[in-house]
Copies of this chain bind each other. A is one copy, B any other.
């Protein structure tokens, strides 16, 4: 980040990450500090500074796409949980998140849907117990 332009992209990413992923996103960034600090920067710059900051698609649609893809792939449960919480942050309801997980039974099988639903259950329970 040698100058103003890089800073712009980085700063836009920091703002998007905070708005979308909240504390969970910040924790991911911090967990990279001692193993791959450059990758923490890339996470901020490319997914958040570039992709999520594009105005061509609303954040509701972006988060639905993300939780659908992560539930279908089925090999990234920590990231799925972060984005289930992010989905709530951008205004998607719990009932809608549950629907997206259920729909994944059609495209990735019932185990993928079940594991997505159990991830949602854990996130909702954590949020409820924090109140």
Contact = CB atoms under 8 A, between A and B. Distances in A.
Contact of A69 (B52, B72, B79): B72
Interface string A1-45: 011111011000000000000000000100110111011001100
Contact of A110 (B57, B107, B124): B107
What is the total number of copies of this protein in its complex?
A: 6
Contacts of A124: 35
For the residues of A in contact with B, the DSSP-based class is: helix
A10 to B, nearest CB: 11
B95 A56 contact: yes
Interface residues of A, number: 68
Contact of A112 (B57, B71, B75, B99): B75
B106 A70 contact: no
B69 A102 contact: no
A72 B67 CA distance: 11
Interface string A93-110: 001101111111111111
Given A5-B4, A61-B96, A108 B69 contact: yes
Interface of A: 2-6, 8-9, 28, 31-32, 34-36, 38-39, 42-43, 46-47, 50-52, 54, 56-57, 60-62, 64-76, 78-79, 95-96, 98-115, 117-118, 120-121, 124
